[in-house]
Amino acid sequence: MTTTQETEFLTVAAIRKAREGNATEYLFNERQRIFKFKSMTKISEDASRQLEDAFRKERPLRALLDEERGHIQRVYAATDDEWKEFKRVRILLEKPERPRRIDVLKIDPTTFNIVDNYLRSSAFRLCTRIVPSYRSAKAIFDFCAKQSCHLPGPYDISPCIPFQYVRDGCYARAHKMRSIITARYRYCCEKVFSFANSNNDRLAVRVDKWGGCCVGWWYHVAPLIRVRVGIISPKISLVLAMVIDPGMFDKPVLLSSWLSAQKNIGCDPNANVSMYSIQPGSAYSPANYAGTAFTTDPSYTATDNTLNLYHSYVTCT
CA-closest candidate to residue 166, choices 226, 117, 211 = 211
pLDDT score, position 44: 86
Instruction: Give the mean pLDDT of 118-131.
Output: 91
Question: 256-313: per-residue pLDDT in tens?
Answer: 999 999 999 999 999 999 999 999 999 999 999 999 999 999 999 999 999 999 999 9
Q: What is the mean pLDDT of the chain?
A: 93
Residue 239 has pLDDT above 50, yes or no: yes
C-alpha pair distances (Å), 114 with each of 119, 167, 306: 6, 30, 33
Residue 315's pLDDT band, with cuts at 50, 70 and 90, is very high
Closest alpha carbon to 58 in 91, 87, 32, 81:
87
Condensed to tens digits (0 to 9), the pLDDT of residues 20-78 reads: 767 899 999 999 999 999 887 887 899 999 999 999 999 999 999 998 889 999 999 98
- Is the pLDDT at 1 greater than 50, yes or no? no
Strand pairing partners for 101? 275
User: Mean pLDDT throughout 141-150?
Assistant: 98
pLDDT > 70? residue 4: no
Distances from the Cα of 48 to the Cα of 15, 52, 75, 246, angstroms: 10, 6, 9, 36
Long-range contacts of the stretch 17-22 (C-beta < 8 A, 24+): 17/200, 18/200, 19/200, 19/270
pTM, 2 dp: 0.95
pLDDT on residue 312: 95
Q: Which of 243, 236, 239 is nearest to 227 (CA)?
A: 239
Q: How far apart, in Å, are the Cα atoms of 231 and each of 110, 234, 235?
A: 13, 6, 5
Residue 3 has pLDDT above 90, yes or no: no
**Cβ 65 vs Cβ 7: under 8 Å:** yes
- Which residues in the chain are classed under CATH 3.10.620.30? 100-309
**Segments of the chain assigned to CATH 2.40.50.340:** 4-89
Q: Which residues make Cβ contacts (< 8 Å) with residue 224, sequence separation at least 6?
A: 189, 190, 191, 192, 241, 242, 243, 244, 255, 278
pLDDT of res. 2: 46
CB 168, CB 67: distance < 8 Å? yes
- Asked whether the bond before 132 is cis by omega within 30 degrees of 0, the reply is no
The Cα–Cα gap between 254 and 127 comes to: 20
pLDDT at 119: 84
The DSSP 8-state label assigned to residue 218 in this structure reads: S
* Segment 240-250 mean pLDDT: 98
Q: What's the gap between Cα 168 and its chain centre?
A: 8
pLDDT at 179: 98
Chain centroid to Cα 307, Å, comes to: 13
CATH number of 4-89: 2.40.50.340
Domain spanning 100-309 has what CATH number?
Answer: 3.10.620.30
Is a pLDDT exceeding 80 seen at residue 235?
A: no
Mean pLDDT of 205-223: 97
Rounded Cα distance between 276 and 257, Å, is 13
pLDDT (mean) for 121-150: 96
What is the C-alpha separation between 78 and 47, in angstroms, rounded? 13
- Residues 282 and 31 sit within 8 Å (Cβ to Cβ): no
